[in-house]
Amino acid sequence: MSDTENTYVLNAQAIAGWRDAFGVLADVEVVQETGSTNTDLMQRLSTLQRPVLLVAERQTAGRGRAGRSWLSVPGGVLTFSLAWKLPQSGAQLMGLPLVIGLAVAETLKALAVPAGLKWPNDIWRDGKKMGGILVESAPAAGGGTWIVGGIGLNLLVPEALEASLGVQVADAPWLAQMDRNQLLGTLLNALARLLEQFAISGFAPFAARWNALHVFAGHMVQIQDQGKVLLEGQALGVDEEGYLLLNTPAGVRRVVSGDVSLRPVTE
């Protein structure tokens, strides 16, 4: 195998080698195949002593929000989950998925990928979905909360996979040529840095940064639940608690994420 080909092989030691002072707070594990990295880590929370980044070359039962499946292809989609212990209770973690999305989007922008954020859990590029985030949690022994943030990120999506999805998706072909171990180490550093700050100060310090990347800021949108329209109005961004602010005929409404979805209003 050539050196160029070696850069495509996921390796826990290689990923760990890219960690900075924040990234070293987490251990790194790589598996060739699993059903779901989120499920695997959720099942291990009671035994974890430290944060863990679990990366899978291939997921066979990846999950998104609201029970949706997340399809992957080896080498074309990064699929990984990060287990992290936070001092907050579950009720105080509403803005956490936004922070995880922000860490990913800011990392991609630093790598010259024009990524944006779609409330509450998606990474967008050029008007299409490039990545998704699923956050799950469980109370930690002695207080606080273990969270598992699962991320699927398209690097190079074959036409056959896109056709099976039934929707157009975004990817970043040149990132697929980057050393994926370096990319994952860089993402881990960003996630660890922001999670450590979130542990201290919550979501408020991140609101302005998130709003700066909000792809539907100022647009007319609908809030839907399983296809049913709950609200319609102009998206104003998020507040310091992570609520989406929606300007409606009845005034500004605050929307909590839950399992609802944001859809642009087509003209």
- Per-residue pLDDT of 114-169, as tens digits, reads 999 999 889 999 999 999 999 999 999 999 999 999 999 999 875 555 555 556 78
Q: What phi and psi, each to the nearest 5 degrees, are found at residue 46?
A: -70, -15
Spatial contact of 59 and 79, defined as CB atoms under 8 Å apart: yes
> How many angstroms separate the CA atoms of 135 and 152, rounded?
12
| Cα torsion angle, 15, 16, 21, 26, sign | positive
The answer to whether residue 71 scores a pLDDT higher than 90 is no
The answer to whether residue 64 scores a pLDDT higher than 60 is no
Burial readout 176-209 (b: 16 or more C-beta within 10 A, e: otherwise):
beebbbebbbbbbbbbbbbbeebeeebbeebbee
Per-residue pLDDT, 11 = 96
> How many angstroms separate the CA atoms of 184 and 182, rounded?
5
Per-residue pLDDT, 65 = 46
Lowest mean pLDDT among 74-78, 192-196, 197-201: 74-78
**Residues designated as active site:** 65, 129, 263
| Ordered structural domains, the chain, with CATH | 3-211 (3.30.930.10), 216-264 (2.30.30.100)
Residue in the block written with tokens 């699929």: 79
Tell me the two tokens of residue 34.
Answer: 């699993």
Work out the average pLDDT over 208-227: 93
Tell me the three state secondary structure of residue 125: strand
Per-residue pLDDT, 96 = 96
259 band by pLDDT with thresholds 50, 70 and 90: low
pLDDT by residue (tens digit) across 25-50?
A: 999 999 999 999 999 999 999 999 99
- What is the value of pTM for the model shown? 0.89
CA atoms within 13 A on the CB side of 12: 12
The answer to whether residue 84 scores a pLDDT higher than 50 is yes
Instruction: Return the H-helix or E-strand segment holding 131.
Output: strand 128-139
> How many angstroms separate the CA atoms of 82 and 77, rounded?
16
